[in-house]
Structure 1
Amino acid sequence: MYAIVNIAGKQFKVTKDQYVYAPKMQGDIDASVEFDEVLLADDNGTVSVGAPVLEGAKVTGKILDHVKGDKVIVFKKKRRKGYKKKNGHRQEFTKLLIENIAL
């Protein structure tokens, strides 16, 4: 059983007991979260497609941690002008554990 769910503006294919790194969300560690924007669900070969979402379907999970992703280097240069700029960025994520998918 899996579901495609909208979490913080991004779509994720989730199953039970799966870890998901979603964009940073508000909430404390070990807090329960509930997502009701389920776009598609598959229950042992029976596919349900929402228009745009499935009514009554919910995905519940738990916030495990707030983490940072890998560093991305941003390098800008204009040739023959002496202009170079190096910058780094680390995106913040929330680590979620998907506990249940209810249709």
Structure 2
Amino acid sequence: MDTYAIIDIGGKQLRVEPGRFYDVRRFTPDVNTLGSNIKISTNRVLLIRQGSDIDIGYPWLANAVVKGRILHSCFGRKLAIQKIYSNKKTCRICGYREDLIRFVVDSIHLNGRTANNQ
């Protein structure tokens, strides 16, 4: 818990720690053709904290990389959208599930060094 990073992935800012998995919006056209255990890395790192040291980027940190791998694709919770027509006294309910990718963070690198958990 001493080491974490804040990254920009899938259009959202996400606080990540090494060894944990996260669900983000699908950012590749078709993950099923790629399969699982595909290695990914992102250099859109906004902040890295190692113990009491905090490095903040403007907007991103130079020479900072978060590496991980894709576990599998999944779906989010079903969202129900209800539209009510008051004059007709009817309603319409539509729903969808968002396509997500579950990935695990393997390591956080800053200036070529791996940020270790202490």
Displaced runs of 4 or more, over 6 A:
none
Name the structure 1 match of 2:7: 5
The alpha carbon displacement at 1:96 in A equals 0.4
- Structure 1, gaps ≥5 residues long: none
Paired residue for 1:25, among 17, 24, 27? 27
Greater strand proportion: 1
Q: Is the partner of 1:55 in helix, strand or coil?
A: coil
Name the structure 1 match of 2:98: 91
Deviations 1:63-84 (A, max 9, x none): 0010001111111112241331
TM-score after normalising by structure 1? 0.94
Identical positions, percent: 26
Deviations 1:13-50 (A, max 9, x none): 00000111010122422100000010001011100000
CA distance in 2, matches of 1:40, 1:59: 11
The count of aligned residue pairs is 103
CA distance in 2, matches of 1:89, 1:8: 18
The alpha carbon displacement at 1:10 in A equals 1.0
CA distance in 2, matches of 1:96, 1:55: 23
TM-score after normalising by structure 2? 0.83
Q: Is the partner of 2:67 in helix, strand or coil?
A: strand
Q: Is the partner of 2:61 in helix, strand or coil?
A: coil
- Structure 2, gaps ≥5 residues long: 111-118
1:6-85 → structure 2 map (5 Å cutoff): 6-26=8-28, 27=31, 28=34, 29-85=36-92
**Aligned-pair Cα RMSD in Å:** 1.0
